[in-house]
Structure 1
Amino acid sequence: MIKLSEAGVYLVNGKEIIPADSGKNLGTTPEEARKNTIAYSILKSHNKSDNMEKLNIKFDCMASHDITYVGIIQTARASGLKKFPIPYVLTNCHNSLCAVGGTINEDDHMFGLSAAKKYGGIYVPAHQAVIHQYMREEMAGCGKMILGSDSHTRYGALGTMAIGEGGGELAKQLLNKTYDINCPEVVGVYLTGKPKKGIGPQDIALAIIGAVFKNGYVKNRVMEFVGDGISDLDVEFRNGIDVMTTETTCLSSIWVTDDKVKNYLDTHSRIKDYKELKPGNIAYYDRMIQVDLSEVESMIALPFHPSNVYTIKELNANLEEILTKVEKEAAEQGLKIDLKSKIIDGKLHAEQGIIAGCAGGTYDNLMDVADILDNKAVSSHDFSLSVYPSSQPTALSLVKNGSTAKFMAAGAIVRTAFCGPCFGAGDTPANNQLSLRHTTRNFPSREGSKPGEGQISSVALMDARSIAATAINGGILTPATDLDIEYTKPEYKFDSTVYKNRVYYGYEHPLDSELTFGPNIVDWPAMPKLTDNLLLKVTAFIKDPVTTTDELIPSGEASSFRSNPLKLAEFTLSRRVPEYVEKSKAVQIFEKEREDGKDPVALDINLKKVFDKIKTIPGLENIDPKATGIGSTIYANKPGDGSAREQAASCQKVLGGWANISKEYATKRYRSNLINWGMVPFTIEGEVPFENEDFILIRDIKNSIAEKKDTIKAYVIGDEIKEFDLTLTDLTDEERETIIEGCLINYYKKS
């Protein structure tokens, strides 16, 4: 089904794959042939430096939703924002229910509308479209690059290289700065064959994720989709695969384009945005994934990660064994789930099905679901099914062709365009229930449960077709390939009237107006500059193989406070290390005292003892507590998998965090978030010499960063002092200055 190359390959004429070490003379080199990838050509056209190894990218447009755009605009505003220099789309698809926290969600929306007017933006009101569907319909185009403050910013199937990043990177673009990265490697994804009837994009995506996530095969690389298998896939099918590439931890994605893409853009009145994209005659890929689409079965990703993949047939044949394994893996994360109780008469029963968002709620998916439900019923009082069309134009087309009537007659609940089920703000299942979802993620607590409070449910990811098949089978897990359905595939009719009547288009037309602030919209607190030395207390020590951004700062009701840094910080690590906030605040008291010019050791005899020990280290006899930054740090093996949300880092900073220490960072975007908030992204090799609640002295950190040193001296200050090394590599000059100045806002104020 899926084959991974062990090294680089050449792709000749878009068809023949030749291993680079085959000895075959193609008259070129990897260095020259990699310039023939689609990715390289797009990156080159957007690079503002004269060095293709060190890229300075400017994007064509950007997008944010309503739990990120307030913080981004506040950051840019504090740094001197005058107007939006490129089209910037502000959608309202995350906190659009306005059901938690009183007026604060709608206050954010009014802030967004006022910002679109003041700075010249594009404002998409609540329930009109999920962020990525709007960008597909209205903004993506062949050869473009788009930056979004959501990790699933992916429009590769439409010929656009799109990247999801934390808010700091979008603020930079608003200030006419660049996105600075090393030129990424490119991984080819060669598709052949044709999917079986009943196989959908989520099945293909989960199969790929299962093959490449755990081994880091595409981490921080670009996935470039090629091969003759693409021609049999409709564009929305491609979009459904493409959006899930985020779960592989790749940087971005891009696909060859063809007449189907041309027709899609023409349907959306944007034929001018089409051009053919394909690799050159001989293109070099650093790695190659080969996927035979005809061999992909109906798939399921069991709790608690999209890479925990099985075929549905394999799961049904080995229920006890596989579910016991999943329960054990959950227990190792401190999560107690009981999936085996869902086995009734030898079959797995679920209680809920959700088809929603940028992955599930597309027209093609919902049309096939309508065909499956036609003249049938969601045949169990214990199983519910909800469908969320991804945009109002999608919903309108489904109404006009009668599909919505089929949903409703079958007992499915039809809702508006909303991302809530994907991150825990809609259709939260009951305690101990199993929910089957065609959404993007199934991390612990992402669907809204609170394990720390004894509330836990389980989410498995599946394709819309298999969810519908399960729905008409009384909630019994059923692959869509078992059905004998004639899929009608009626042509999609895009009607832009909805957007023309509701969306505010203000690009290049800023108004002389004021921002509208609600009581929950709060400026960022002052952030201190980096000191010569740092004293850190470990306030969270996480041994899990991977720590997600949902664990670092949870979604759900916490999202309502994304515009209030102080209130949001109270949720930091609340579902993983509940004591973290109070421990960090206790350390922050010392730093506040220091920043006020007072001696922090006067507050605490134990802190005085720590400094007395530090003074026994040669060269640090005269260390001054009043000139030494005192803060908290977390250790995690591999933090930052998942969302682009900058708050996973900024909340730590608000609570006095100065650094993270890890074996590696799960994503580039989380590491960038740390840097943009003035936190040092340390890594450590070998055995970790410290424990939770230990103090660590980082010596000469300011000069080490300024002088571009890779190795930093550190000391565990315990009963005895242990010296060890921390590593700090691959920082740009601007990133170094940002850390030294204390955060991105400070850096831009200075410059």
Structure 2
Amino acid sequence: MISVFEGGAYLVNGTEIIQDGPQALSAVKAKTGLDTTKDMARQETIAYNILKEHNTSDNMEKLKIKFDKLTSHDITFVGIIQTARASGLERFPVPYVLTNCHNSLCAVGGTINEDDHMFGLSCAKKYGGVYVPPHQAVIHQYAREMLSGSGKMILGSDSHTRYGALGTMAMGEGGPELVKQLLNQTYDINMPGVVGVYLTGEPVKGVGPQDVALAIIGEVFDSGYVKNKVMEFVGPGVSGLSADFRIGIDVMTTETTCLSSIWRTDEEIREYYDIHGRVEEYKELNPGAAAYYDGMITIDLSAIRPMIAMPFHPSNTYTIEELNANLTDILDDVEKKAAVSLDGAVDFTLKNKVKNGKLLVDQGIIAGCAGGGFENICAAADIMKGSYIGSDGFTLSVYPASMPVYMELIKNGCAACLLETGAVMKTAFCGPCFGAGDTPANNAFSIRHSTRNFPNREGSKLQNGQISSVALMDARSIAATAANKGVLTAATEFEGSIQKYQYHFDSKIYENRVFDAKGQADSSVEIQFGPNIKDWPAMTELPENLVLRVVSEIHDPVTTTDELIPSGETSSYRSNPLGLAEFTLSRKDPAYVGLAKDIQTAQKAVMEGKCPLEAKPELKDVMKVIEEAFPGVGKGNVGFGSTIFAVKPGDGSAREQAASCQKVLGGWANIANEYATKRYRSNLINWGMLPFLIEKGELPFKNKDYLFFPGIRKAVAEKADEIEAYQVGETGLKKFSVRLGELTEEERQIILKGCLINYNRV
């Protein structure tokens, strides 16, 4: 089904793989006649050439990328624009699209969601952007329909910014990276590795894109095989997939922790652009005759079977057939993993969902950038035709990804077919993906064609004793389960036909509702602020020395951004940095906020010219121990704050607030064995937080300990490989060391200045 090469490989003429080795280049020459080298062949990937076209430096190992377009949604664009405004923004230098698909229900916090929307509309007018009103499209569907272009690059402030199937290399990052683009700065990365994904065969009936995606994620996530690399989809199997099918696989590549994705393009993609009235954006993309990949994944699409990602991670995958055949063993394993994810805070089991040897499901959802595509919903309608979900507890909600998709489902009858079954059709909204819509009942089990199934991401609140859970599946098997009144069923068991429907895009829907300034800024427009929209608080430069208190210690194998700052109802407060910060780590460590604020009082005293030891008397004994070993440390040259330890923080969302909330509560650093994604590490840096690394093993400190970092400013400025640190004990200092990892010169200066706002402030 799926094979992963141990090393690199050459792709010859797009159809033959030659594994790297002593005789590889000779074999390449025999097949192609080319006298190439590995370095030359690396330059023949699609990814390399797109990156080269967008690199503004003269060094292809140290990239400085400028993107063609930017996109954000309504829980990120307020903070981004506020940050850019504080740095002197006058106009959007590239097309910037502000969609409204996350806080579009306006159900929490009174007016604050719609206030954010009106802020976005007024900013689109003032700075020359594009504003997509609520319920028109989810961010990524609009980008596919209206922004993508073969060979182009798009940066979005959402982790699932993936348009590779359309020939667009897209990346999801935290807001500060978009701020840099708005200020005509660059996205600075080392040249990423490129991993080939070689597809053969065709999917069997009943297998959909989510099945292929989950099979890939389950294969590569734990090993980090594609972490921070570009996945390049090639091979003859690509041609057998529709554009929608490719898109459905592509959007889920985020869950592998890859940096980006790109696919070879063909007539199928040209037709997609033609349908959307943008055929001029199409360009055929293929790797060269001899292209070298740093890794290779081969996939026989015909061997893929309906998949399920059990709680609480997209990589916790099984075939549905395997799960149904081994229910007891697999549910035992899920419970063991849940005990780690949930810290034993609540009792969790799915064994009570087993009735007469069958697993019963409480809810089905087909939604968002992954599930809400035209073909997915049409296939679900065909599978459910003539069936009824029944009048018991099982429910099914379907969210088309855009109003044009919804319109076509109405015209071709698929919407009516689904409504007749008892399903509910809803407008374009990302809520089910992050806990702002269709939250299941306590102890309920939901199957979803959406992007993630982290703990509590579906909206339940662990701190209130609530727990429900989500498994990820393809729309086809969700429909088969719904037709079976909630009994978990693979779509390959469906004996009827699944038709191929022709899609017709109605551009008038957007023409009539979307505001497009066509790049023309109007400085006379007054920005519309709501009372919840607040400026970022003042932040100081990195001091000469740091005293940090450890205020949370997390030993889970992976810590998600959902655990660092919850999604769901907290999203309404993302325009209010201090208000949102009150929710930081609330699901994982409710004591965090109080402890962070407690030590922050000392730094606030420093900023006000007062004595930090009077504000926080406990520090008198701490400073006494430090001053005995470092007599020069004291008034005017030391800062105070907090840090957390986590084994591998930052899996999942691009949300910058996972870092900024720590910062506004006085956080100066994270200490980790590794960072789950580049996105999270970049967010720490852009908010002036030190992304410390420490070797795996027993920690030289524990929660609530004080740590001392002498000469930290000098160490950062002088590019020290090892950072000297001390655990402050009652009887003295215990030395240990941490590393910062590679930093660009700009990143170093951002940390020294205290945050990106300070770095750019005019």
TM-score by length of 2: 0.97
Alignment of 1:15-30 (within 5 A): 15-24=15-24, 25=26, 26=28, 27-30=35-38
Q: Provide the residue aligned with 2:669 in structure 1.
A: 659
1:330 to 334, 338, 357: 338
Deviation larger for 222-231 or 370-379: 370-379
Q: What SS does the corresponding residue of 2:761 show, helix, strand or coil?
A: helix
Contact 1:379 1:473 in 2 (8 A): no
1:41 to 30, 35, 49: 49
**2:687, 2:710 → 1: CA distance?**
21
Contact 1:696 1:717 in 2 (8 A): yes
2:562 to 550, 562, 565: 550
Counterpart AA for 2:458: E
**1:251, 1:580 → 2: CA distance?**
31
Counterpart AA for 1:152: H
Counterpart AA for 1:549: T
Contact 1:380 1:474 in 2 (8 A): no
Is 1:171 matched with 2:179? yes
Q: Provide the residue aligned with 1:381 in structure 2.
A: 392
Q: Provide the residue aligned with 2:755 in structure 1.
A: 743
**1:626, 1:695 → 2: CA distance?**
19
Is 1:354 matched with 2:365? yes
Q: Provide the residue aligned with 1:504 in structure 2.
A: 515
Q: What SS does the corresponding residue of 1:36 show, helix, strand or coil?
A: coil
Is 1:732 matched with 2:757? no
Task: Decide whether aligned partners of structure 1 residues 463 and 380 sit closer, same or farther in structure 2, where only a CA change above 3 A counts.
Answer: farther
Q: Provide the residue aligned with 2:603 in structure 1.
A: 591
Is 1:714 matched with 2:722? no
Contact 2:375 2:501 in 1 (8 A): no
Q: What SS does the corresponding residue of 1:316 show, helix, strand or coil?
A: helix
Q: Provide the residue aligned with 1:627 in structure 2.
A: 637
Q: Provide the residue aligned with 2:32 in structure 1.
A: none
Contact 2:149 2:166 in 1 (8 A): yes
Contact 1:155 1:242 in 2 (8 A): yes
Q: Provide the residue aligned with 2:678 in structure 1.
A: 668
Q: CA deviation at 1:621?
A: 1.0
Alignment of 1:257-656 (within 5 A): 257-333=265-341, 334-335=343-344, 336-511=347-522, 512-617=524-629, 620-656=630-666
Q: CA deviation at 1:23?
A: 1.3
Counterpart AA for 1:398: L
**1:316, 1:594 → 2: CA distance?**
61
Q: CA deviation at 1:686?
A: 3.6
What does the per-residue CA deviation read over 1:511-559, in whole Å, with 9 as the maximum and x for residues that have no partner? 2211000000000000011000110000000000000000000001100
Counterpart AA for 1:349: L
Q: What SS does the corresponding residue of 2:662 show, helix, strand or coil?
A: helix
Deviation larger for 217-226 or 602-611: 602-611
Cα-Cα RMSD: 0.8
Counterpart AA for 2:652: G
1:150 to 147, 153, 158: 158
**1:485, 1:535 → 2: CA distance?**
67
Contact 1:4 1:289 in 2 (8 A): yes
**2:661, 2:360 → 1: CA distance?**
39
Q: Provide the residue aligned with 2:241 in structure 1.
A: 233
Q: CA deviation at 1:364?
A: 0.5
What does the per-residue CA deviation read over 1:432-454, in whole Å, with 9 as the maximum and x for residues that have no partner? 00000000000001000111210
Contact 2:366 2:448 in 1 (8 A): yes
Contact 1:600 1:625 in 2 (8 A): no
Q: Which runs of 5+ in 2 are unaligned?
A: 29-34
Q: What SS does the corresponding residue of 1:616 show, helix, strand or coil?
A: helix
Is 1:11 matched with 2:11? yes
Deviation larger for 591-600 or 440-449: 591-600
Deviation larger for 375-384 or 678-687: 375-384
Q: CA deviation at 1:644?
A: 0.3
What does the per-residue CA deviation read over 1:106-137, in whole Å, with 9 as the maximum and x for residues that have no partner? 00000000000000000000000000000000
Q: What SS does the corresponding residue of 2:171 show, helix, strand or coil?
A: strand
What does the per-residue CA deviation read over 1:152-200, in whole Å, with 9 as the maximum and x for residues that have no partner? 0000000000000000000000000000000000000000111010000
Contact 1:584 1:631 in 2 (8 A): yes
Q: What SS does the corresponding residue of 1:629 show, helix, strand or coil?
A: strand
Q: Which runs of 5+ in 1 are unaligned?
A: none
**2:721, 2:743 → 1: CA distance?**
10
Q: What SS does the corresponding residue of 2:708 show, helix, strand or coil?
A: strand
What does the per-residue CA deviation read over 1:396-431, in whole Å, with 9 as the maximum and x for residues that have no partner? 000001111001101000000000000000000000
Q: What SS does the corresponding residue of 2:124 show, helix, strand or coil?
A: helix
Q: Provide the residue aligned with 1:90 in structure 2.
A: 98
Deviation larger for 376-385 or 338-347: 376-385
Contact 1:594 1:627 in 2 (8 A): no
Contact 1:9 1:287 in 2 (8 A): yes
**2:706, 2:209 → 1: CA distance?**
49
What does the per-residue CA deviation read over 1:293-334, in whole Å, with 9 as the maximum and x for residues that have no partner? 011110000000000000000000111110011111111221
Contact 1:75 1:171 in 2 (8 A): yes
Q: CA deviation at 1:700?
A: 0.7
Q: CA deviation at 1:508?
A: 1.7
TM-score by length of 1: 0.99
Contact 1:380 1:475 in 2 (8 A): no
**1:339, 1:627 → 2: CA distance?**
55
Q: CA deviation at 1:625?
A: 4.3
Q: Provide the residue aligned with 1:104 in structure 2.
A: 112
Q: CA deviation at 1:729?
A: 1.9
Q: What SS does the corresponding residue of 1:21 show, helix, strand or coil?
A: coil
Contact 1:598 1:626 in 2 (8 A): no
Is 1:689 matched with 2:700? yes
**1:150, 1:603 → 2: CA distance?**
40
Task: Decide whether aligned partners of structure 1 residues 538 and 625 sit closer, same or farther in structure 2, where only a CA change above 3 A counts.
Answer: farther
**1:424, 1:2 → 2: CA distance?**
32
**1:686, 1:193 → 2: CA distance?**
42
**1:488, 1:197 → 2: CA distance?**
10
Q: CA deviation at 1:374?
A: 1.3
Counterpart AA for 1:123: Y
Contact 1:597 1:626 in 2 (8 A): no
Q: Give the total of aligned pairs.
A: 748
**2:635, 2:359 → 1: CA distance?**
61
Contact 1:599 1:626 in 2 (8 A): no
Is 1:196 matched with 2:204? yes
Q: What SS does the corresponding residue of 1:649 show, helix, strand or coil?
A: helix
**2:236, 2:656 → 1: CA distance?**
39
Contact 1:119 1:510 in 2 (8 A): yes
- Percent sequence identity is 64
**1:649, 1:263 → 2: CA distance?**
42
**1:370, 1:120 → 2: CA distance?**
41
Contact 1:600 1:626 in 2 (8 A): no
